[in-house]
């Protein structure tokens, strides 16, 4: 028996050695990719803290000699003179005023749509759903002209309200698809039970369905927030001047500087413009947990 | 307390006819089980009674009121589902009183009912838990509590035990039966499990392909099935069915199995025909396994013969032995001390007072 034991031990040892090796190889590859993807952000951040002097002389990857906040102040609050000074603060609030209602409206309507399409089936509901699905494949560019006419007719062109409408409508196909696919997996019997218990259409939605929709709400909010915040095409087409969202302002800021390119200011501005989506990912990602319906049906 | 009446109920899903002219009368306090294979329309019928499916044709009456267009919540019914269908975001307490809240029942009354029924169902220790923290049996109890607390006129059960494991299923079955005896409320119960049906029902309605094949007490259904389908669906192990034809003899009729070279026949003089039999009529003879036993078991009209076992299944307190009978497999329920051995002939006796005869063409009882 000892011979067999020895052999087993050797086998186990070599298996564990191999496991360790592959584990380290995996970490190495993942690490390389992480550096590859994070490098631009690193350059952005270090550049934004440097002075122009240092940027011109130094190395792209080097840490700044001293951390200067000047570029950030200029990007956010401007240089303090009137003519041609573009800075992000007002447009940041523009974007906030646009993105919050647009995300809330499109998510809410998507949830109601998904609820109806799965739990209150009616004749032709499949065709309606197909049309929603079709809506997901309509490119941004295709709706520019008709949307411009619509906004004009409604009298809300070049306004935040107009952009809220555009984004809510455009996002509706996606949010409906998300919620429909989530609610389809929730047993109909739960709705039947609530109906027998005496709950009506909205009561079932708010009391029974919405409290278990957290995972899909998070997915939808992340999706909609990122798309709307990062949108440039609708923003630049349907707004200009003071009503523009932050991405349009960023573009104007970076492209309209007449003097020397202020790389540090540009980098700080770009980072400010991208920051909220990062925050949403970090905050909402935590709640990105599935399986909250466990327990309502056989588990 | 309520009666229920279904008149000529018809339901189509597209071109599929799910229910065809179903008639059902349930009197006050009855426990009706709708029994049938999946896809026979039993759940659809229950959903229509609950008001969760619309009625295409016919009427549903509760206490003589036509309720076809009445909302489920106004029918004074409660329903228990196979998947329990508890609200996952609510605690057990909230689950149970949800219906009372919608009806704006007073706080004291709600608390009283809640404590009464949660004690009765032994879930009073679990009131603050979420459904996810409960076991299958506890979830089913909560689901029943949710139905009970409303004190409805009619209880509807849609395969409530199918998701439970075998031991728990038997336990819960007994509790449902006790509940019915305690409350005396009209109950309608859908299942595909014939043992559940037999043990719970005051009457069973056996359904197949959208019609009620037979409705009667469990004993009637078991002893006098009105069609081959009912005979075959109810009972485990299944009834033995042997095709053959009728032949006149001096006193009445003989049953002659098909492919019978040596003039073997079974005298069925004692059989109470419901229709007048014809000479040479092709029929199917049905005999339940417990009516095939060792010789000298039966006192009344019986037939002795020797058959060779081809399969022996021990069930614990007895054994199901399958024999070769003229090329057919027939199964008998023998005591466990019967010396059955594969291939060696055994002296058996058939209880001829318990046979059923069906017309081969219509497959209905004759």
Q: Sheet containing B65-66: which strands, arranged edge to edge?
A: B16-26, B4-13, B57-62, B65-66
Question: Measured between beta carbons, which residues in chain B are less than 8 angstroms from residue A293?
Answer: 88
Domain of residue A235 covers: 89-294
Is-contact A209 B85, C-beta < 8 A?
no
Q: Are A127 and A39 in the same domain?
A: no
Q: Which helix (H) or strand (E) holds B108?
A: helix B107-120
A121 and chain B in contact, CB less than 8 A = no
- At residue A299, the pLDDT reads 36
Q: Are A100 and A34 in the same domain?
A: no
Tell me if A73 is assigned to some domain.
Answer: no
The overall average pLDDT reported for chain A is 87
The answer to whether the Cβ–Cβ distance between A207 and B52 falls below 8 Å is no
A289 and chain B in contact, CB less than 8 A = no
CATH of the domain at A177: 1.10.3720.10
Question: Measured between beta carbons, which residues in chain B are less than 8 angstroms from residue A197?
Answer: 73, 98-99, 102, 146, 150
Weakest mean pLDDT among A241-255, A266-280, B43-57, B177-191: A241-255
Question: Measured between beta carbons, which residues in chain A are less than 8 angstroms from residue B132?
Answer: 294-296, 299
Q: Which residue in A203, A292, A296 is closest to B85 by CB distance?
A: A296
Q: Which residue in A197, A203, A298 is closest to B83 by CB distance?
A: A298
Tell me if A77 is assigned to some domain.
Answer: no
Q: Which residue in B84, B88, B90 is closest to A293 by CB distance?
A: B88
Mean pLDDT of A84-102: 89
Would you tell me how many other CB atoms lie within 10 Å of the CB of residue A264?
25
Mutant choice from A121, A192, A196, A289 vs B, greatest count of B C-beta within 10 A: A196
Q: Are A133 and A164 in the same domain?
A: yes
Please provide the DSSP assignment of A211-246 as one string: GG-HHHHHHHHHHHHHHHHH--HHHHHH--GGG--H
Q: How far A221 CA sits from the closest chain B CA (Å)?
A: 21
Q: Which residue in B98, B130, B146 is closest to A295 by CB distance?
A: B130
- The pTM assigned to this predicted structure is 0.83
Total domains in the fold of chain A = 2
In 3D space, the residue among A268, A272, A255, A254 whose CA is nearest the CA of residue A55 turns out to be: A268
Residue window 104-133, chain B: list those with CB within 8 Å of chain A: 130-133
Point out which residues pair with B364 in neighbouring strands. Answer: B227
The answer to whether the Cβ–Cβ distance between B98 and A199 falls below 8 Å is yes
Q: How far A188 CA sits from the closest chain B CA (Å)?
A: 8
Q: What is the gyration radius of the CA atoms in chain B, in angstroms?
A: 25
Mean pLDDT of A238-248: 87
Q: How far is CA B107 from the centre of its chain?
A: 40
Chain B residue whose CA is closest to A199: B102
Question: Measured between beta carbons, which residues in chain A are less than 8 angstroms from residue B98?
Answer: 194, 197, 199, 207
Chain A residue whose CA is closest to B50: A196
What span, in angstroms and rounded, lies between the C-alpha atoms of B147 and B140? 11
Is-contact B86 B143, C-beta < 8 A?
yes
- At residue A295, the pLDDT reads 36
In 3D space, the residue among B317, B40, B303, B53 whose CA is nearest the CA of residue B194 turns out to be: B40
Is-contact B68 B59, C-beta < 8 A?
yes
- At residue A64, the pLDDT reads 86
What span, in angstroms and rounded, lies between the C-alpha atoms of A60 and A66? 15
Query: For the packed helices A89-119 and A70-77, what is the interaxial angle rounded to 10 degrees?
Result: 70
Please provide the DSSP assignment of B43-102 as one string: HHHHHHHHTSS--SEEEEEETTEE-TTS-GGGTTEEEE-TT----TTS-HHHHHHHHHHH
Q: Are A110 and A57 in the same domain?
A: no
Q: How far A203 CA sits from the closest chain B CA (Å)?
A: 9
Tell me if A15 is assigned to some domain.
Answer: yes
Assign A48 to helix, strand or coil: helix
What span, in angstroms and rounded, lies between the C-alpha atoms of B312 and B306? 16
Is-contact A98 A160, C-beta < 8 A?
yes
Give the pLDDT band of residue A1 (cuts 50, 70, 90): low
Q: Are A17 and A136 in the same domain?
A: no
Instruction: Retrieve residue A189's tokens.
Output: 């019997």
A242 and chain B in contact, CB less than 8 A = no
Q: Are A106 and A50 in the same domain?
A: no
Tell me if A107 is assigned to some domain.
Answer: yes
- At residue A296, the pLDDT reads 40
Dump pLDDT digits (tens) for A155-185. 998 889 999 999 999 999 999 999 999 999 8
Q: Are A60 and A132 in the same domain?
A: no
* pLDDT of A99 above 60: yes
The answer to whether the Cβ–Cβ distance between B73 and A193 falls below 8 Å is no
Tell me if A83 is assigned to some domain.
Answer: no
Tell me if A244 is assigned to some domain.
Answer: yes
Would you tell me how many other CB atoms lie within 10 Å of the CB of residue A29?
10
- At residue B146, the pLDDT reads 93
The answer to whether the Cβ–Cβ distance between B89 and A212 falls below 8 Å is yes
Q: Could you tell me where the DSSP H helices lie in B121-203?
A: 136-148, 166-183, 194-200
* pLDDT of A53 above 70: yes
Tell which phi-psi region holds residue A11, choosing left (phi > 0), alpha (psi between -120 and 50) or beta.
alpha
Question: Measured between beta carbons, which residues in chain B are less than 8 angstroms from residue A190?
Answer: 83, 85-87
Residue window 323-352, chain B: list those with CB within 8 Å of chain A: none
Q: How far A126 CA sits from the closest chain B CA (Å)?
A: 14
The answer to whether the Cβ–Cβ distance between B130 and A192 falls below 8 Å is no
Q: How far B78 CA sits from the closest chain A CA (Å)?
A: 7
A17 and chain B in contact, CB less than 8 A = no
User: Is B128 exposed, middle or buried, given 0-12, 13-18 or 19+ CB atoms closer than 10 A?
Assistant: exposed
Q: Are A95 and A58 in the same domain?
A: no
A198 and chain B in contact, CB less than 8 A = yes
Q: Are A164 and A282 in the same domain?
A: yes
Give the pLDDT band of residue A292 (cuts 50, 70, 90): very low
Instruction: Retrieve residue A58's tokens.
Output: 């130094």
Dump pLDDT digits (tens) for A282-291. 887 766 544 3
A208 and chain B in contact, CB less than 8 A = yes
What span, in angstroms and rounded, lies between the C-alpha atoms of B24 and A57? 93
Q: Are A124 and A64 in the same domain?
A: no
What span, in angstroms and rounded, lies between the C-alpha atoms of B189 and B187? 6
* pLDDT of A116 above 80: yes
Give the pLDDT band of residue A239 (cuts 50, 70, 90): confident
Question: Measured between beta carbons, which residues in chain B are less than 8 angstroms from residue A126?
Answer: none
Q: How far A288 CA sits from the closest chain B CA (Å)?
A: 17
Q: Which helix (H) or strand (E) holds B228?
A: helix B228-233
Give the pLDDT band of residue A59 (cuts 50, 70, 90): confident
Q: Which residue in B52, B77, B88 is closest to A212 by CB distance?
A: B88
The answer to whether the Cβ–Cβ distance between B79 and A192 falls below 8 Å is yes
Tell me if A80 is assigned to some domain.
Answer: no
Q: Which residue in B73, B87, B133 is closest to A195 by CB distance?
A: B73
Chain A residue whose CA is closest to B104: A198
Q: How far is CA B248 from the centre of its chain?
A: 36
- Higher per-residue pLDDT: A262 or A228: A228
Q: Are A50 and A96 in the same domain?
A: no
Tell me if A56 is assigned to some domain.
Answer: yes
- At residue A258, the pLDDT reads 63
Q: Could you tell me where the DSSP H helices lie in chain A?
A: 2-48, 52-57, 70-77, 89-119, 125-135, 144-154, 160-183, 188-197, 201-203, 214-230, 233-238, 246-256, 263-285
Q: How far is CA A77 from the centre of its chain?
A: 25
Assign B127 to helix, strand or coil: coil
CA B150, B155, B158, B163 torsion-angle sign: positive
The answer to whether the Cβ–Cβ distance between B88 and A294 falls below 8 Å is yes
Instruction: Retrieve residue B284's tokens.
Output: 């199917």
Q: A–B: how many Cβ contacts below 8 A?
A: 93
Q: Are A104 and A180 in the same domain?
A: yes
The answer to whether the Cβ–Cβ distance between A295 and B47 falls below 8 Å is no
| Interior/surface letters B29-38, b for 16+ CB within 10 angstroms, e for the rest | ebbbbbbbee
Share of chain A above pLDDT 90, in %: 56
Q: Which helix (H) or strand (E) holds B286?
A: strand B282-287
Collect the ranges in chain B with pLDDT lower than 70: 1, 260-261
């Amino acid at each position: 028996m000892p011979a067999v034991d020895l052999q087993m031990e050797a086998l186990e040892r070599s298996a564990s050695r191999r496991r360790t090796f592959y584990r380290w190889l995996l970490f190495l590859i993942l690490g390389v990719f992480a550096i590859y993807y994070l490098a631009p952000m690193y350059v952005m951040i270090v550049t934004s803290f440097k002075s122009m002097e240092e940027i011109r002389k130094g190395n792209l990857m080097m840490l700044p000699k001293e951390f200067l906040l000047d570029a950030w102040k200029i990007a956010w609050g401007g240089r303090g003179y009137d003519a041609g000074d573009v800075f992000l603060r007002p447009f940041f609030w523009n974007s906030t005023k646009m993105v919050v209602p647009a995300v809330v409206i499109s998510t809410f309507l998507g949830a109601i749509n998904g609820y109806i399409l799965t739990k209150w089936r009616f004749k032709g509901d499949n065709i309606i759903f197909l049309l929603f699905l079709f809506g997901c494949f309509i490119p941004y560019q295709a709706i520019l002209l008709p949307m411009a006419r619509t906004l004009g007719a409604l009298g809300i062109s070049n306004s935040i309200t107009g952009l809220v409408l555009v984004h809510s409508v455009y996002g509706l196909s996606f949010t409906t698809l998300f919620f429909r696919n989530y609610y389809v997996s929730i047993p109909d019997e739960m709705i039947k039970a609530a109906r027998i218990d005496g709950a009506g259409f909205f009561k079932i939605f708010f009391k029974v369905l919405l409290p278990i929709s957290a995972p899909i709400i998070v997915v939808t909010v992340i999706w909609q927030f990122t798309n709307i915040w990062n949108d440039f095409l609708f923003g630049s087409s349907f707004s200009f001047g003071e009503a523009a969202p932050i991405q349009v302002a960023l573009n104007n800021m970076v492209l309209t500087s007449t003097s020397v390119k202020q790389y540090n200011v540009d980098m700080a501005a770009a980072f400010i413009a991208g920051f909220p989506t990062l925050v949403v990912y970090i905050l909402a990602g935590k709640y990105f947990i599935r399986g909250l319906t466990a327990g309502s049906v056989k588990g | 307390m309520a009666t229920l009446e279904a008149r000529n109920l018809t339901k189509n899903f597209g071109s599929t006819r799910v229910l065809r002219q179903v008639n059902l009368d349930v009197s006050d306090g009855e426990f009706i089980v709708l029994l049938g294979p999946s896809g026979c329309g039993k759940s659809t019928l229950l959903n229509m009674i609950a008001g969760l499916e619309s009625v295409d044709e016919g009427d549903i009456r509760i206490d003589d009121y036509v309720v076809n267009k009445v909302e489920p919540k106004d029918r004074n019914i409660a329903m228990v589902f196979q998947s329990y269908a508890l609200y996952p975001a609510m605690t057990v307490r909230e689950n149970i009183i949800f219906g009372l809240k919608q009806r704006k029942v007073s706080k004291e009354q709600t608390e009283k009912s809640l404590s009464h029924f949660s004690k009765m169902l032994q879930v009073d220790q679990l009131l603050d838990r979420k459904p996810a923290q409960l076991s299958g049996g506890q979830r089913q109890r909560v689901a029943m509590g949710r139905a009970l607390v409303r004190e409805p006129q009619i209880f509807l059960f849609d395969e409530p035990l199918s998701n439970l494991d075998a031991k728990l299923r038997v336990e819960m079955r007994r509790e449902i039966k006790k509940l019915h005896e305690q409350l005396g409320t009209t109950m309608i119960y859908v299942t595909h499990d014939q043992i559940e049906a037999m043990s719970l029902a005051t009457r069973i309605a056996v359904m197949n392909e959208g019609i009620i094949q037979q409705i009667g007490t469990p004993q009637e259904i078991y002893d006098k099935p009105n069609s081959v389908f009912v005979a075959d669906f109810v009972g485990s192990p299944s009834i033995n069915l042997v095709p053959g034809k009728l032949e006149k003899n001096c006193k009445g009729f003989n049953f002659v199995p098909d492919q019978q070279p040596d003039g073997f026949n079974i005298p069925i003089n004692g059989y109470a025909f419901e229709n007048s039999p014809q000479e040479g009529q092709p029929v199917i003879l049905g005999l339940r396994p417990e009516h095939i036993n060792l010789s000298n078991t039966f006192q009344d009209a019986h037939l002795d013969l020797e058959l060779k076992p081809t399969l022996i299944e021990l069930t614990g307190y007895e054994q199901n032995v399958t024999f070769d009978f003229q090329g057919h497999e027939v199964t008998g329920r023998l005591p466990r001390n019967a010396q059955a051995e594969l291939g060696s002939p055994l002296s058996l006796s058939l209880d001829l007072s318990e046979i059923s005869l069906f017309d081969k063409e219509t497959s209905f009882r004759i």
